[in-house]
Structure 1
Amino acid sequence: MRRRPDLLIVGGGPAGLATALHAARAGLDAVVAEPRPAPVDKACGEGLMPGAVRALTALGLDVPGHPLTGIRYVQGPRGVQAAFRDGPGLGARRTGLHGALHRAVLDAGVTVLPLRVAEVRQDATGVTVPGAGLRARWLVAADGLHSPVRRALGLDVPTRGPARYGLRRHYAVPPWSPYVEVHWGADAEAYVTPLGPGLVGIALLTARRGSFTGQLAGFPDLAARLPPGTAVTPVRGAGPLRRRARTRVHGRVLLVGDAAGYVDALTGEGISLALTGAQALVANLLRGTPARYESDWARATRRHRLLTEALLRARQQPALAPRIMPTAARLPRLFGAAVNALA
């Protein structure tokens, strides 16, 4: 490849594609390296919070999906719900979201190369991918939770606590609620996301190893709504979920999305943070202030990180975990404020 783009974006998920789209629309020459054909599927809750919906609308994207009214916590017969105050969320298949972003990137003239990048070299003027004939002024690592670029550059930070994993499957049943339901079990959470008139997504988060069916059995009321014959997709998994990066800016390499660090999927803000990070990254490159991206990222994600960390710590304490849902039910205004702070 003879041209030397402004940005080489490693990873063609939502974070990488959003970065490419912001860059192209700002007049920067961007190239995306993504070995998987579009659309790319991934195990995720598939519930877009209102902030993510607004960010996608600002990019001019029309993502197919099912409107979401708010968040509902459920534990046995008890429940508490909070409606979104600033517009609806969206239950959207990951493939639909990825397809919309991928088409927009191609329409913007961005080249997407079927290339896997695991090693990079940088100097004062650019970044090179050895053996691929690729060099760019800047490299954006948007290659996910287990980012090979982050690892190759020595930016991984060891994490503490039990490893948590996510499992996801779809069922051809009509949604019974306009809310994303979070069912609290003894050692797992089950997320129910309406995705269409006859489709719901079930995502399970847990530190306990086991099959999807075995984990779902821990939620008997929910499992009764999901006859085995209505499952229409295979089980997909992801994890360990917690990931930390030493920095988001390392010379001419910048990290965005899950590659930049991830706490947990408890609050469902991964896509919102990826879109916010992509915009901040490109804005700083345009201003000539790449180092400022670190502080902008920290400021944009602080509320999410603090709330998610606090909830996760409570979840991991045997004395506190059973009280999360009852406390939310006793303090519905506080629960609503927390939901909308994240939304």
Structure 2
Amino acid sequence: MRHGDLDADVLVVGGGPVGLAAAIHARAAGFDVLVTDRRTGTLDKACGEGLFPGALRAVQALGADPPGHPLAGISYRAPGRHADHRFAAGPGRGVRRTALHEALWKRAADVGASFQHGRVTRLRQDAAVVEVEMAPGGGADGTGAGRAPVTLRAGWVLGCDGLHSTVRRLAKLDTGTGLRAGRPASHRYGLRRHFRVPPWTDLVEVHWAPTVEAYVTPVGADTVGVALLGTRTTLQAGFDTLLRSQFPELGARLAAAPTTGALLGGGPLRRRSRRRSAGRVRLVGDASGYVDALTGEGVRVGLAQADAAVRNLDDAAAYERAWWTVTRDYRVLTTGLLTWASSPARRAIVPAASRAPWLYGAVVERLAR
């Protein structure tokens, strides 16, 4: 129930999967919730779209069950070698990001969350209230142009607005990319495209080339998604060129397959925040910090953060501790793999995984929880 003269007990900025999960948790805790986003409609994102078993269970625990394609495990692949591991705790699911968003949006609406379109332009707070100024619309289509800004008052603000978080910046929690200035060529980015072709495997395939990775995820009976990760310099060669030149086997398999939807990009991937809280503001998901997409942990970690943020709304120190706990495996494993992948030993990743399947399997199971 809304308290006093507030527009909402909890204002969630960012209507992606993590923001919607936070809204669902907040409604379950009895809070009046308003979700805002500068975008409208079903939201998409350049990502791998694979829900590992733990992530799928977390989504289903929220009351959503998006359609997709079963995922049985992960395969690391390089020319002439591969290492496969099948999940021990049941399947995950390849899910189009649009399908995930639709399922969580419907669930958030069903449990009573409200929604408002607009972009955050200012943030002020005192000991009891956060005031957020919203510019109506803000999309490329000019929706809301010419209308006066509105001020929303909430007891708490959850910044779930992604890598380029406005809430993080306005709350003075931003530290940028976390990479040294003067080395923009080392910043990593992602590109993603879908192909209309029946999946040839129930595994997420990670193809390793000298300077770029390709993540292949079956997301439907007739669709696979391919995400490329690399530096800006590498990706400037173009998606199709990289697919043909760096992954000839994969490129040949997809050569005759029609593409569907737009080519999407995102990055730089690495982001840091000074802290996860500032007064009555909490950062959640990618807005709170992100290392890289190498391990595919983003959704599961973000959902765990959303739960922790709502459970610890009135205790910033407790949320900070919970944030470090739920992100520990992701940070350690991703940082280690990124360091390895950025070193001269990169070519040894797939051979090492195939020679030590017990270790490779242990890492995959750790991520799949």
Give the secondary structure class of the aligned counterpart of 1:154: coil
Q: 1:188 Cα shift?
A: 0.3
Amino acid at match of 1:342: L
1:103: which partner in 2?
Answer: 106
Q: 1:108 Cα shift?
A: 1.2
Q: How does 1:86-235 map to 2 (within 5 A)?
A: 86-130=89-133, 131-158=149-176, 159-160=178-179, 162-207=186-231, 208-210=234-236, 211-217=238-244, 218-227=246-255, 229-235=257-263
Amino acid at match of 1:333: W
Q: Which runs of 4+ in 1 moved over 6 A?
A: none
Corresponding position: 1:337 with 2:340: no
Distance 1:148 1:38 in 2: 20
Distance 1:177 1:229 in 2: 16
- Normalised by the length of structure 2, the TM-score is 0.90
Q: How does 1:179-328 map to 2 (within 5 A)?
A: 179-207=203-231, 208-210=234-236, 211-217=238-244, 218-227=246-255, 229-285=257-313, 288-318=314-344, 320-328=345-353
Q: Structure 2 stretches of 5 or more lacking a match?
A: 134-148, 181-185
Identity of aligned residues (%): 51
Q: Deviations over 1:115-155 (max 9, x none)?
A: 11132111111110134221101111000001011122221
Distance 1:270 1:118 in 2: 27
CA contact (8 A) 2:171 2:281 kept: no
Residue of structure 1 aligned with 2:84, choices 81, 97, 122: 81
Q: 1:284 Cα shift?
A: 1.2
Q: 1:227 Cα shift?
A: 1.9
Q: 1:246 Cα shift?
A: 0.6
Amino acid at match of 1:26: A
CA contact (8 A) 1:128 1:134 kept: yes
Q: Structure 1 stretches of 5 or more lacking a match?
A: none
Distance 2:316 2:272 in 1: 20
Q: 1:331 Cα shift?
A: 0.3
Distance 1:214 1:312 in 2: 24
Distance 1:228 1:203 in 2: 18
CA contact (8 A) 2:197 2:257 kept: no
CA RMSD in angstroms, aligned pairs only: 1.4
Distance 1:191 1:118 in 2: 36
Q: Deviations over 1:188-213 (max 9, x none)?
A: 00000011111100000011232111
Distance 1:324 1:83 in 2: 18
Q: Deviations over 1:53-84 (max 9, x none)?
A: 11011112111100100000000121111111
Distance 1:38 1:298 in 2: 33
Q: Deviations over 1:299-326 (max 9, x none)?
A: 11101100000000011112x1111111
**How many equivalent pairs are there?**
340
Amino acid at match of 2:36: A
Distance 2:74 2:289 in 1: 25
Distance 2:316 2:31 in 1: 15
Amino acid at match of 1:120: L
Q: 1:229 Cα shift?
A: 4.8
Corresponding position: 1:26 with 2:29: yes
CA contact (8 A) 1:38 1:98 kept: no
CA contact (8 A) 1:7 1:30 kept: yes
Distance 1:278 1:58 in 2: 13
Distance 1:223 1:194 in 2: 16
Corresponding position: 1:54 with 2:57: yes
Q: Deviations over 1:277-313 (max 9, x none)?
A: 011111112xx42331011010111011000000000
Distance 1:32 1:232 in 2: 30
Amino acid at match of 2:261: T
- Normalised by the length of structure 1, the TM-score is 0.96
